[in-house]
Every structure is written in structure tokens, then in C-alpha cells.
Amino acid sequence: MKYVIWGAAHRGRLLYELLGKERIAAYIDSDPVKREKNFQGFPVIDYAAYKERYREYAVIITMVFGGGVTDLLERDHIFYFNVEQCPPEFMGYGLSKAKRALKGKKLSLPDRIILYGSTLYTVLIYEKLQAEGYQNISVFLPSYIKGEKRGMFSHMFPDIHLAQTCEADGAAVLLTEKVKNPESELKNAFVMDIVDWTQYVPEYHNPKIESLKECYKGKRCFIVATGPSVTFDDLECLNRNREFCISMNAIFTCFSKTKWRPDCYVILDADGVLLWQDEFYKMKDVPYKFIADCQPYVDYTQLEDSCYVYHSILDDFSIKNMLFSDDFSRKVYNGSTVTYVCIQLAVYLGFKEIYLIGVDYNYATNAKNHFTEQPELDEVFDGMSGQNRIQDISYIAFQKAKEYASNHDIKIYNATRTTCLDVFEQVDFDTLFSR
């Protein structure tokens, strides 16, 4: 089976490496500049060309949160996979460590195997087991796969035997897709979870981060985002009062104009890690730098001791169910915004009062969205802006953070001067300091 990959960018490159060139027919991309040349040696086409010449192939969507194309494919009754339904490693998260940990690893399985799932990962595991000599393999599609989608799956993969019921006596049921409460469909089955790779990659745990757990228990901190409402006077006030600060992304662009420095620097975005890696070495006066393991083309082993690499998770399940990590040393959930990661860090460090500033939450295209001039990592995927979708998801993430904080006696306040975020109690920044 060959695939057409939607998105001629770094995720498309990753799939090229994971699938192999013999499994790819073409790439789709809406950017006309990319269509003027090949990508990874394959033609880059538009959607019309796909429907005309490549429709026999399933589409793999690589863009964040579907990139706006899911509805398009549904409308035209085209079978597709979303790479975000695979383990996050398929998008580069922790991929280097996973490769080392899983190299040569084989599961001991009985002759009869049932795969629970409906994703690209499900199909790849099916093919891998077949190649290893297993013959009695079937796939049990989750109950949410109904009607037309079930028929499309059978049509696209006619050689895959679909189990009508999950009769697991004497079989190994391998969970290849994260769904909520699969137990209701897998009653009395012995289930082995092979979709959550965190249990197989011990290197995701960072003992250096664990040593910081609750080291600021009961204290307060400020999470400094980069929205345009932040002023240099605000930063000087934080510096003067020696407040513990966590900041992010391109905050370093303001360092030449202020004595203030954050105590913790956090970066989540894969493009940002690649773009700004040289800046990590220049932040000599920032004690802790937390860098996501999201970029497979960066050598994390070369980072200095003040850099703490954390395992970031972005997948369809964690977004739809909005998970919050209570162990930053092992895994951290994306939530579509680095501010959500900063909140998880602040909680892990033990802070009981968390104040947000610079979370204006009113992103606008072609407008000033940061208080300093900095590279704009605009969330554009395959030529289509995903910012509205990201903002919607981040709102749910903030709601989850509030829920978690309330259940753990933690207070989160929004001290942003001008904000459209109404999840947290708003407070006046100027009243937080003694005169």
C-alpha cells in the first residue's frame, strides 16, 4: 500500500523516513512554491491533482490538528489517516530516544492476535506482524468507526481481516489506538498497550527534572508570556521584587533592553527549537532551560547542563481529552500552547500561586502579537492558518489547568493588563507588590 502525504514539511519528511520511499506516491501541499519542485524526491501536487490522478491512495494528514483539511476529505468521501492518532513519536516527539530504546525489541505473542484500532499505526503493526510470520491476525475497529468509514477501511485494506466481535479467548489484544474506556469493548480480554510508548522508553524520564520537584513548594511565581500588553516596566518590577519567573519562546529578544531574566525558560515548538537552538547557549544568566524533545533533527546531547530536556506529548487523544501532567519529569502534554506547559511546570515545582502576564489571547493576522520584535512563528500549516483552531484548543487547556489547580489547592490568576482570556480570575498586576 502506498500513501499520499498531505504536508510537504518536516512531518512529511519524518513519514518518509518512517515509512520508506517505496510507500509514498506523492505529497499534497497548498503552497504553490512547494509545488514547483519535488519533496524528498516525490511530486508535490495540489488537491485537485490528487483527486484526478492519485485517488486510489489513502491520504495521511500531517498538519497540526488536521490543518483544516479533514472536513474537505470527509466531504469528498476520501479515506485518510491523521498522523496525530499515531504515537507522538511519529511526529518526532522523543523519536531519537525511542529509536534507541526500541531497537531490536520484539514482543512475545501467541499465534492469535487481535489489533484494536483503526489508525495508520494499526495498519503498520498488522503489516509488521505479518512480515514476522504471524498469520492469525485480525483487526477490531473501535465502535466509533461506523457505516461508511468501516466500509472504506475494508475497501482500502481488503487483505486485513476485520473481527466482528472481540472474542479474545487465547488471543493477545494489542491496543494500537488510544480511545476512552476501551474496556467496554474488550471485556475479559488480556490487553497489551503498545500505543503508549512512554512505558517502553525509560529515557523519557529525566532525573534532573525530578530533582526539582516541589523545590518551591508553597511559593508564588509569574508566567511571563510575550503578548503585546507586557511592558519593560513590568519586567523591571518583577526583577526589582525578585519574583520567580517562567518565560518562553523568543523572550530573549528583550534581554538587551532589560536587566530582568526569567528563572526558567521553556520552549515547546519544534520549529522554534530548530530556529533558536543557538540562543540556548547565550542564556548564561537563565538558571533553568526546559526544552521539549520535539525536534528529531537537533542533537540534544550537545546541550549544556542548564538545559533540561522534557518529553512532550501531542496526539489526538491528549488534545480531545485534554490531559494535564502531574509528573513533568516523565511527560508533559502540549495543550497547543507553551503557556500550558509552563503551568504544568509551575505546578510540578510546587508553586501554589501562579500569575499569568502577557497572555493577551487576541492573536490577529498581520498585527503586533508580541511586545518585542521577534521572529513570528505564525501557525500556518499547508498554506492554511491554524491559529483559530489552536486558540480554541488552548482555551480548553486553560480550563483544564484551572480544574486541576482547583482540585490541588493551587490558585492561578490572570494578571495580564489587557486580555481576552476569561478562564482565570483577573487581578491588577500593580497591586501585587508592596509599595
Domain identity same for 54 and 129:
no
What pLDDT is recorded for position 104? 78
What pLDDT is recorded for position 376? 53
What pLDDT is recorded for position 190? 81
Contacts of 63 (CB under 8 A, 6+ apart): 6, 7, 11, 69, 381, 382, 384, 386
Cell digits of residue 86: 499515531
How far CA 379 is from CA of 67, 210, 390, in Å, comes to: 10, 32, 8
Domain identity same for 255 and 294:
yes
* Burial degree of 423 (CB within 10 A; 0-12, 13-18, 19+): buried
Number of domains in the chain: 3
Q: Identify the CATH number of the domain in which residue 218 sits.
A: 3.90.1480
CA-CA-CA-CA torsion sign (48, 53, 59, 60):
negative
Domain identity same for 175 and 249:
no
Where is the domain boundary, 193, 217, 241?
Answer: 193
Cell digits of residue 426: 483577573
Where is the domain boundary, 24, 50, 85?
Answer: 85
Domain identity same for 253 and 330:
yes
92 in any annotated domain: no
Domain identity same for 261 and 391:
yes
Are the CB atoms for 12 and 62 separated by under 8 Å? yes
Q: Identify the CATH number of the domain in which residue 130 sits.
A: 3.40.50
What pLDDT is recorded for position 58? 97
Domain around 310: 202-432
Q: Identify the CATH number of the domain in which residue 36 sits.
A: 3.40.50.720
98 in any annotated domain: no
Domain identity same for 277 and 392:
yes
Domain identity same for 334 and 402:
yes
Residue by residue, DSSP assigns 293-359 as: S--TTS-GGGS-TTEEEE-EE--HHHHHTT---S-TTT-EE-TTSHHHHHHHHHHHTT-SEEEEES-
What pLDDT is recorded for position 66? 78
Domain identity same for 234 and 188:
no
169 in any annotated domain: yes
101 in any annotated domain: no
C-alpha distance across the termini of the chain, in Å: 69
pTM of the model: 0.93
Where is the domain boundary, 146, 167, 193?
Answer: 193
Domain identity same for 138 and 246:
no
Cα separation, 158 vs 58, in Å, equals 13
Each of the 435 residues of the chain gets a pLDDT tens digit; together they read 899 999 998 899 999 999 999 999 999 998 889 988 899 999 999 999 999 999 999 999 998 887 779 989 999 999 999 999 999 999 999 999 999 998 878 778 888 899 999 999 999 999 999 999 998 999 999 989 988 999 999 999 999 999 877 666 667 899 999 988 887 778 777 889 999 999 999 999 999 999 999 999 999 999 999 999 999 999 999 999 999 999 999 999 999 999 999 999 999 998 889 888 888 888 999 999 999 999 988 888 888 888 999 999 999 999 999 999 999 999 999 999 999 999 999 999 999 999 999 999 986 655 566 667 765 554 444 444 456 778 889 999 999 999 999 999 999 999 999 999 999 999 999 999 975
Tell me the three state secondary structure of residue 425.
Answer: strand
Residue 39, φ and ψ in degrees, nearest 5: -130, 120
Domain identity same for 316 and 237:
yes
Q: Bridge partners of 3?
A: 24, 58
Tell me the three state secondary structure of residue 204.
Answer: helix
Are the CB atoms for 304 and 281 separated by under 8 Å? yes
Residue with grid cell 510507500, as numbered in its chain: 23
Are the CB atoms for 395 and 21 separated by under 8 Å? no
275 in any annotated domain: yes
What pLDDT is recorded for position 208? 96
Domain identity same for 171 and 223:
no
339 in any annotated domain: yes
What pLDDT is recorded for position 65? 81
Q: Bridge partners of 355?
A: 222, 413
Domain identity same for 172 and 234:
no
304 in any annotated domain: yes
Closest CA to 380 of 64, 104, 154: 64
333 in any annotated domain: yes
